[in-house]
Amino acid sequence: MATEIHISQSNARKITSLNPATGETLRELECADVAQVQAAVVRARAAQGTWFQLGVKRRVGLLREFQARLHASKSQIAAAITREAGKPLAEALVTEVLVVLDATRFLIDNAWHLLREEPLPHGSLATKLKRGRLLREPHGVIGIISPWNYPFSIPATETLAALVAGNAVVLKPSELTPLVALELAELLHASGVPRDVFQVVIGEGPTGAALLNSAIDKLVFTGSVRTGKRIAAAAAERLLPVVLELGGKDPMLVLQDADIDVASSAAVWGAFVNAGQACLSIERCYVHRSLFDSFAAACAAKTKQLRLGNGMDANTDVGPMIHEPQVQIVEAHVEDAKARGARVLVGGRRLPELGANFYAPTVLAEVTHEMRIMREETFGPVLPIMAFDDQEEAVRLANDSEYGLAASVWTRDAKRGERLARRIHAGTVMVNDVISCFGISEAPHGGVKASGIGSTHGRFGLEEMVRLKYLDTDRVPRMKKLWWHAYGESFRRQMEGFLDLQFGRGLMKRLSGALRAAGAVRRKRL
């Protein structure tokens, strides 16, 4: 495996932002080359110190201004997301704008006390004359490489946490959705964040590689496992800390006591929101055999009622996929499943009459783990449903994946659902809900296994944006420490007594230790 991402320093390239529903050209933009990315990082570093010196409370004040401006322009931002990413306007509002507004609320309410200096009491008698404190200091310059599927909520939540902690940020958005990132930049700059403290560099893979190989202090990446592994290898060469969110293959477990109507609606929404292009999408659905036929029929019937079209139409339930390569992946997974015996209950084909990037929401039955649809990340509008016979089999199937981002358990018995949830290998498990964990600002977002390293969102996401520093001050600076040179037999016996004083079993053992240790105070030190 390569240990760095090589960059081709060719003539400046341009990228074209397209509306995936219509194919319309939205804007053409120049890609940042290596020198431009490095210059952006240099500017960010020069500006970061002053930004940090503002203090948390003043940075929180700018977040309040950002929140107000975002709320005032919510409809315009949602429309920009829909034009460039294709999702329905309602989804852009709920899964992007709402998420960012609430993440800002969390930071406004919590950043000061989460980032403030924290006293650290000492339990050891040897260090009682010291005063310890934990400081949380910014890394410096945070690089963020964000994806196209949630082009506003993912980079914005990460950026806001980094900024409030005192970092400068250089963001490289997906080449498929650069305009949304520029909308974010405009909002932040209008809210008072200095232009050099938050910068956007536009481009394709080489631009991201240039950011990775620049003088940033930490990288936050959301994308594929393949690219994430290359980034981790390159970062390891210089011990660059990283946060990696690398996708999922999330299972949904429907137990025999589940409410079929509610669970089937959840499955349809969880599989087809954003045309299935979500790392938290339901990509594997396991249903108790006693419910299988009725559940699958309910999912198929509800899927047939979905309205497909341009996301700018308020009546649209499912919009287009992002581009042709992603449609091809979905098509290949469905065809592989059909060839291996899966049954298509609804969908299973492109919809050229709507546009080049439309694929019909698809429900598959009789799938197995030998099929690509149950093992590889599909990232498209497909709901594969498989039967299980008992709870143990359900857990085994859920855990039979290289991914571990999120999962859900559906049952009328919440305690049973929670017991099962504890056995599933995932960063998040929801009982009787799906996907909304991403919008819970207090909850960490991140996975296990191939789903990534580290967390975003909430307290733990904020902790990723700082370095811990321990500050120790001695209360009696003119006193030589007991454990300093010179040593000797008497000192050895005194230290044995000191250990007995602290850790001996029984009062007499401790008193004896105290008497033997007392001489250490009068001992002559160098």
Per-residue pLDDT of the chain (526 residues), as tens digits, is 333 333 333 456 899 999 999 999 999 999 999 999 999 999 999 999 999 999 999 999 999 999 999 999 999 999 999 999 999 999 999 999 999 999 999 999 999 999 999 999 999 988 999 999 999 999 999 999 999 999 999 999 999 999 999 999 999 999 999 999 999 999 999 999 999 999 999 999 999 999 999 999 999 999 999 999 999 999 999 999 999 999 999 999 999 999 999 999 999 999 999 999 999 999 999 999 999 999 999 999 999 999 999 999 999 999 999 999 999 999 999 999 999 999 999 999 999 999 999 999 999 999 999 999 999 999 999 999 999 999 999 999 999 999 999 999 999 999 999 999 999 999 999 999 999 999 999 999 999 999 999 999 999 999 999 999 999 999 999 989 889 999 999 999 999 999 999 999 999 999 999 999 999 888 889 8
Handedness of CA 371, 375, 377, 382 (dihedral sign): positive
For residues 359-383, one letter each, b for 16 or more C-beta atoms within 10 angstroms of the residue's C-beta and e for the rest, the string is: bbbbbbbbbeeebbbbbbbbbbbbb
Length of the chain: 526
Q: Give pTM, 2 decimals.
A: 0.95
Query: Cα–Cα distance between 194 and 188 in angstroms, integer?
Result: 8
CATH assignment of 32-246+459-469, among 2.170.120.12, 3.40.640.10, 3.40.605.10, 3.40.50.720: 3.40.605.10
Please state which architecture CATH assigns to domain 250-442: 3-Layer(aba) Sandwich (3.40)
CA dihedral for 517, 518, 523, 526, sign (positive or negative): positive
Q: Is 147 helix (H, G, I), strand (E, B) or coil?
A: coil
CA atoms within 13 A on the CB side of 138: 27
Give the position of tokens 């980032």: 115
Please tell me the predicted confidence (pLDDT) of residue 9.
38
For the chain, domain boundaries: 32-246+459-469, 250-442, 480-522
Establish whether 31 is a catalytic residue.
no
Could you tell me which of 277, 282, 242, 250 has the C-alpha nearest to residue 425?
Answer: 250
Can you tell me which residue has the tokens 């080449």?
175
Residues β-bridged to residue 251? 284
- 453, β-bridge pairs: 244
Residue 335 among the catalytic residues: no
CA–CA dist 209, 8 (Å, integer): 10
Region for residue 435 given its phi and psi (left: phi exceeds 0; alpha: psi -120 to 50; beta: otherwise): left
Q: CA-CA distance, 387 to 393, in Å (whole number)?
A: 10
Which of these is catalytic: 31, 91, 158, 279? 279
- Spell out the residues 6+ positions from residue 504 whose beta carbon is closer than 8 angstroms to its own: 510, 512, 513
Catalytic residue among 245, 283, 366, 463: 245
Q: How far apart are CA 470 and CA 120, in angstroms?
A: 9
